[in-house]
A and B are shown apart, each in its own frame.
Chain A
Amino acid sequence: MTSLIIVSVLAVAVLYLGLFKYKTALLPVSVTGLLAAAAMAAMDWDLEKMYFSEMMLFDNYAVAFSILLILTTLLIFGLSRNYFEKISNNVAEYYALMLFALAGGVVMVSFHNLAMLFIGIEILSISLYVLAGIRRKDPASNEASLKYFLMGAFATGFLLFGTALIYGATGSFNLAAIASSGAFESALFRAGVLLMMVGLSFKVSVAPFHTWTPDVYEGSPGLIAMFMATVVKTAGFAAFLRLFLMAFAEASAFWAITVAILCILTLFAGNITAVFQDRFKRLLAWSSVSHAGYLLLAILAVGFSASSAVLVYTIAYSLASVAAFGIMILVSRARGNDHLDSFNGLARTNPFLAFTLTLAVCSLAGIPLTAGFFGKFYVFKVALAQGYTWLVVLAVINAMIGIYYYFKVIIAMYMKENANAVAIQLNPGFRLVLSIVVFLIFLFGIFPGLIANIL
């Protein structure tokens, strides 16, 4: 709770810094505030505190995901020096909107009431509708913003309708009260669950509700796309799992088959379309769709091992995405576009960048010795424990398709030459963040026990 207050107040403080033109103070203040918020979140560990007539529950699940969200935002802020300045003068507002989005994310991982879930999702979404469109002169950015807004508003309608039906069936917004209401047989409740599932699937880009993802990722500025792929996806899945774990777990026999079908659709739609992409950002967007499919596997296996699997997966995915999107930003800035050919010869001009990107895509593909391997491993493990062998087989096939398109960029960097490529200059922020990410991907890839037993 304290961390939520700190993040919200920090956003307002950053707005004031912008008002009084303390541009140099923006980043230090944000970073200090985020560190304080992460520390305060960690203080809530094992306390299991309820706040404001059971509106929020800061259990270990909420604390772990809050810290993950805050630290990922920190990494993204580390890359943001001199980034927003190139877009326009309103730098403070961009930081403030990202912090507001983070506050929404923290609400989404700690809600204990459907009203809070709705408000959290809306705070997060509204900030992102604006952030997607901050390149005001760029038609692609405008299109991304408008498309995201229209689709998101439509999805919110489904979410709200579902919430209303569940209230009608159970008489409460409280997750514990819904879980103990015993209304799981009523058709009203089931329709509500399905509609909420549709609304949440939109937000985390699960097929067939994923169609906005590639255009929005491609049109948004790289750093914002990175924020969407990491913080937004983590918060969305944490909220998805929390809702189904704490409120709908007993009705799992009814919704499991729907989630299984969504999972298959998402895996195939994401992976097969990604094969045909020749722009790296679009490839990452489709791969983010496919990762939503793997994460759905864990939701099928409701239980506490599922939360732990989702946590490991989102940590691995966030780390790898920060590195992949970060290097995509550098390359497209230096070479004019993010076409896969732009990565040719990167290994010769920038060995460190090539190595980091290799590690990141290996982690995304799930190659052993990287964090991503254990992300997939734990997700598959909980799905197998629930008896979804056929689904895991399909997921492994998809993981293999994934290796094919992830390796295209590695081949471009190491095997292909680019005669007139010049070395890309790194600023200290990039160097620091990428080094941290490389270290953590290796650390969690070799000692997964560090994060696997948190929850």
Chain B
Amino acid sequence: MLTQSLFYFLSFLAIFSALAVIIAKNPVHSVLYLILTFFAITGHYILLNAQFLAIVNMIVYAGAIMVLFLFVLMLLNLNAETEPQKPAYIKIAGVVSGGLLLLVLVGALKTVDVSGAGGTTATDMGLVENLGMVLFNEFLLPFELASVLLLTAMVGAVLIGRREA
């Protein structure tokens, strides 16, 4: 019962703050609402027994990435005058295509049979230990290749950011 009310509270919080991100006029408010969204999602992860994912989500998204966002926003010095205005037909086209996507997704999710799903209900499922077992057995190759990906990104960042000699 407690879990259920917690779920509804977190879902409300997540949807409300996600909407606020795109509705808020002030970009800094948007970012703050986005942090709230991430916290709500972290709560969902804990409800789903994904403890490791919850911590990582908190540290990486709410911590590192959002701070970066805030920094960039404050450096850019955005205000109402510099905000680009889009013509009406682009806004309408965006609303229509976004609405269609929403329709398809809602239609798809409505038919999902939740009774058969669920998989394991073990409470230690999302612990680092179990995640590590999967990561270093079945998903060893993607895990190793992710290092190539990170190295590429690192070389690229240095290449772009370095001062020309």
Contact = CB atoms under 8 A, between A and B. Distances in A.
B107 A187 contact: yes
A130 interface: yes
A421 interface: no
Nearest to A55: B141
Interface stretch (B12-20, B62-70, B152-160): B152-160
Contacts of B148: 8, 100, 103-104, 123
Most chain B beta-carbon contacts within 10 A, residue among A133, A186, A188, A194:
A188
Contacts of B117: 168
B160 A136 contact: yes
Contacts of B119: 171
A353 interface: no
Nearest to B147: A8
Contact of A119 (B107, B138, B142, B162): B142
B112 to A, nearest CB: 5
Nearest to B116: A171
Contact of A188 (B111, B142, B156): B111
A168 B142 contact: no
B140 interface: yes
A103 B148 CA distance: 9
Contacts of B112: 168, 186-188
B76 interface: no
A126 B160 contact: no
Contact of A96 (B105, B145, B155): B155
B133 interface: no
A122 interface: yes
A53 B137 contact: yes
Given A115-B139, A123-B145, A130 B108 contact: no
A433 to B, nearest CB: 26
Interface in A148-200: 165, 168, 171, 186-188, 190-191, 194
Contacts of A90: 159, 162
Contacts of B1: none
Contacts of A101: 152
Interface residues of B, number: 31
Contacts, number: 88
Q: Which of B149, B151, B152, B165 has the most CB of A within 10 A?
A: B152
B128 interface: no
B109 interface: yes
Nearest to A88: B164
A130 B157 CA distance: 8
Interface in A205-256: none
Contacts of A126: 149, 152-153, 156
B146 interface: yes
A285 interface: no
Nearest to A115: B142
A27 B21 CA distance: 49
A210 B21 CA distance: 28
Interface in A67-124: 88-90, 93, 96-97, 100-101, 103-104, 107, 113, 115-116, 119-120, 122-123
B139 to A, nearest CB: 6
B2 interface: no
Nearest to A101: B152
B88 interface: no
Interface in B110-143: 110-112, 117, 119, 137-142
B128 to A, nearest CB: 19
B72 interface: no
A122 B119 CA distance: 29
B146 A119 contact: yes
B80 interface: no
Interface in A39-55: 51-53, 55
Contacts of A116: 141-142, 145
Contacts of B149: 104, 119, 122-123, 126
A165 B159 contact: no
B34 to A, nearest CB: 15
Contacts of A332: none
B142 A129 contact: no
A452 interface: no
Most chain-A Cβ atoms within 10 A of its Cβ — which of B104, B138, B164? B138
Interface of B: 104-105, 107-112, 117, 119, 137-142, 145-146, 148-149, 151-153, 155-156, 158-160, 162, 164-165
29 contacts: A15-B155, A53-B137, A53-B138, A97-B155, A97-B156, A97-B159, A100-B151, A100-B152, A103-B148, A104-B148, A113-B142, A115-B139, A116-B142, A119-B142, A119-B149, A123-B152, A126-B149, A126-B156, A129-B156, A130-B155, A130-B156, A168-B112, A171-B119, A187-B107, A187-B108, A187-B109, A187-B110, A187-B111, A191-B104
Given A97-B159, A130-B159, A188-B111, 13 more contacts: A51-B141, A53-B140, A55-B139, A55-B141, A90-B159, A90-B162, A100-B148, A100-B151, A116-B141, A122-B149, A123-B148, A186-B112, A187-B109
Interface of A: 8, 12, 15, 51-53, 55-56, 88-90, 93, 96-97, 100-101, 103-104, 107, 113, 115-116, 119-120, 122-123, 126-127, 129-130, 133-134, 136, 165, 168, 171, 186-188, 190-191, 194
